[in-house]
A and B are shown apart, each in its own frame.
Chain A
Amino acid sequence: MIDPIALFLLLLSASTPILFAALGELVVERAGVLNLGVEGMMIMGALSGFATAHYSGNAFLGFAAAALAGALVALPFAILTQFLMSNQVASGLALTLFGLGLAALFGKPVEGVKAPTMAAGPLGLNWIVWLGLAMVPAIWWFLNRSRAGLILRGVGENHDAAHALGYDVRQVRLAAIAFGGAMAGVGGAFISIATVLQWTEGMTAGAGWIALAIVVFSNWTAPGVLAGAWLFGGVTVLQLRLQAAGVRVPVQLLSMAPYLATIIVLVAISARQKFSRRAGGAAPGSLGQDFHALR
């Protein structure tokens, strides 16, 4: 018999990398920027975090370094899109490719070595898992209750109006992009430091793309991101767990469940919008648009 509590604990660990990355991307998109470079920032975080943890012997220092590296590697994207008016989709894809390549290059010296072991937190879970869970209400509060968060959302909904009100659109977006990078970096480092304990090229294996899907699934809310991360992480864990227990389930069906759920949620959201009077939908109004101050 499968112990539901044990399964839930597995789920919490398994969903941590995508939870961090998706929460970061949520803030970025709420500021009106579409950054498709999540995978690139995650892999840079995975490498920098791992290398720092290995050489310093301190895993927590590794996570701090991963956050810094994620933010730094997001900076060129911020400069390209916010100051040089580059296309956000193309720049984001470039950031992914750039991050994957750069990490592969710099990762050569730490191939084959191991990360230091970390002391587990409550319930035998990694402290970073708890940090990820704590970030959900924190980001919800920031976006809905804090002045800074309301400004950030204003910038994302209508950058021209925000600019007219005297807010520095580019500065807000720069900060959001850096924050998104830091979160993605920590998410990536969780894979290298806490899950695999080694560095290998391409180890994030598409987690960044799932994080992007989760943001859409969440309807751009923090609790929605948590639900999405648990759904994606949970289905993976559940199908593996069912297999291990010898339960005969078609694994292909379970593997496609999160994607199916995403489509259903998207349909439900647009149906709701059709019948409600609110125009425009849940996506931030200025998402993915270049901002060029004319005055």
Chain B
Amino acid sequence: MNRRQLIASVAAMTTISLAVPAWAQDEPLKVGFIYVGPVGDGGWTYQHDQGRLAVEAEFGDRVETTFIESVPEGADAERAITQLVLAGNKLIFTTSFGFMDPTINVAAKFPDVKFEHATGYKRADNVATYDARFYEGRAVIGTIAGRMTKSNKIGYIGSFPIPEVIQGINSSFIHARKVNPDVEMKVVWAYSWFDPAKEADAAAALLAEGVDVILQHTDSTAPLAKAQEAGAIGFGQASDMAAFAPTPRVSSIIDNWAPYYIKRVGQVLDGTWTSEATWAGIGDGEVVIGEITEAVPAEVKAEALALRDKIAAGEYHPFTGPLNKADGSAWLAEGQTATDEELSGMNFFVEGITAEIPQ
């Protein structure tokens, strides 16, 4: 190396080292996402990824997003979350209930990184939680189900017996029975969020019981395919599942995370982010009722939409008394509504559901 080159390289290095701080200020905010399933699941994870893309579209160069998909719920999640932290992400969304403890553990080690955990209840100074009031949407499709059933038997494919799923079963049953007092609800637990073959078998088992409307809280389209074979109807879950419209998919509950993700990323960018628990529903646009198809009579559609609008406006709460628990004991008095605490710990069926919750 001759002297001229040496001087040049020293000069270049000085320029770089001087330039770095200035460049660092313009560095985009890195936002990480942990998904429980593949982006292409067409349901739960797909909708979270749509939210991520909305963040990118909203903030452009100011953010940089990454995601890790198909992360199993359990110990390995901690490694995946830590990996995102070490890659420089300053805001991390963990998008499944089972990531709750791993998120809290990692958050304790990295206090300057902000975490957002979906559907959980444990928070810390740098861990916020967010959830959607899916039961509001269930009230609307429960109404359609109650009106549409001819056998008066509605089937429900549950994933796991956790409060979020139980809320949905109760809410859809209450509203189905409101419009059709003869309605019965059959519940089958698949013990999986996503297992197409098992979901198909569960749907077949329900259909063999004489069910002609299937509601599902699992993420694949297998129950819709089975419903179609048997001439029954169903609803899209998590995403629209429009490929099965106009029938068997007569409507759907869509998770719309985009508004929340945009809001929270924006708060981190302008420094106003705080740890809080958000539980938004139809009124905030987080739960969307997919198009109700022509397979549903116009008056039923109008009734369902009216219920949706009343819930959105806050005029009606899907859990309004008088309501009793399945064991016959009183729960809500006339006009009383359930509190969020009661709902987030819900572990009982309402009166009229004969199935039992596995313990």
**Which of B55-63, B92-100, B186-194 sits within the interface?**
B186-194
A167 CB → nearest B CB, Å: 39
B231 CB → nearest A CB, Å: 13
Give residues in A with beta carbon < 8 Å to B. Answer: 2-3, 6-7, 10, 13-14, 17, 104, 107-108, 111-114, 191, 195-198, 200-205, 207, 236-237, 240-241, 243-246, 248, 250-252, 255
Listed by A's residue number, 24 A-B pairs whose Cβ atoms lie within 8 Å are A14-B204, A17-B197, A112-B243, A196-B220, A201-B38, A202-B37, A202-B194, A204-B197, A205-B196, A207-B197, A237-B201, A240-B190, A240-B201, A243-B187, A243-B188, A243-B189, A244-B155, A244-B209, A244-B211, A246-B354, A246-B355, A248-B356, A250-B358, A252-B358
- A17 cross-chain contacts in B, Cβ below 8 A: 197
Give residues in B with beta carbon < 8 Å to A. Answer: 37-42, 70, 155, 186-192, 194-198, 200-202, 204-206, 208-209, 211, 220-222, 225-226, 228, 242-244, 354-356, 358
Give complex CA distance A204, B188 in Å: 21
Query: What residue in chain A is nearest B70 (Cβ atoms)?
Result: A202
- A195 cross-chain contacts in B, Cβ below 8 A: 196-197, 200, 222, 225-226
B42 CB → nearest A CB, Å: 5
Give complex CA distance A13, B203 in Å: 13
Contact across chains for B209 and A245 when beta carbons are under 8 A apart: yes
Give complex CA distance A243, B202 in Å: 9
Known: A14-B197, A196-B221. A241 touches B205 (CB 8 A): yes
Contact across chains for B220 and A13 when beta carbons are under 8 A apart: no
**Number of A-B pairs, beta carbon distance below 8 Å:** 118
Contact across chains for A240 and B202 when beta carbons are under 8 A apart: yes
**Choice from B39, B41, B204 contacting A13 with Cβ under 8 Å:** B204
Give complex CA distance A8, B188 in Å: 19
Query: What residue in chain B is nearest A46 (Cβ atoms)?
Result: B196
Contact across chains for B196 and A111 when beta carbons are under 8 A apart: no
Contact across chains for A14 and B201 when beta carbons are under 8 A apart: yes
- A113 cross-chain contacts in B, Cβ below 8 A: 243
**Choice from A198, A244, A245, A255 contacting B42 with Cβ under 8 Å:** A198
Give complex CA distance A245, B210 in Å: 10
Give complex CA distance A244, B354 in Å: 11
A196-B200, A200-B42, A201-B41 are known contacts; what are 18 more A-B pairs with Cβ within 8 Å? A13-B204, A14-B200, A111-B42, A112-B243, A114-B244, A191-B196, A200-B40, A201-B38, A201-B40, A202-B38, A202-B41, A237-B201, A240-B201, A243-B187, A244-B211, A248-B356, A252-B358, A255-B191
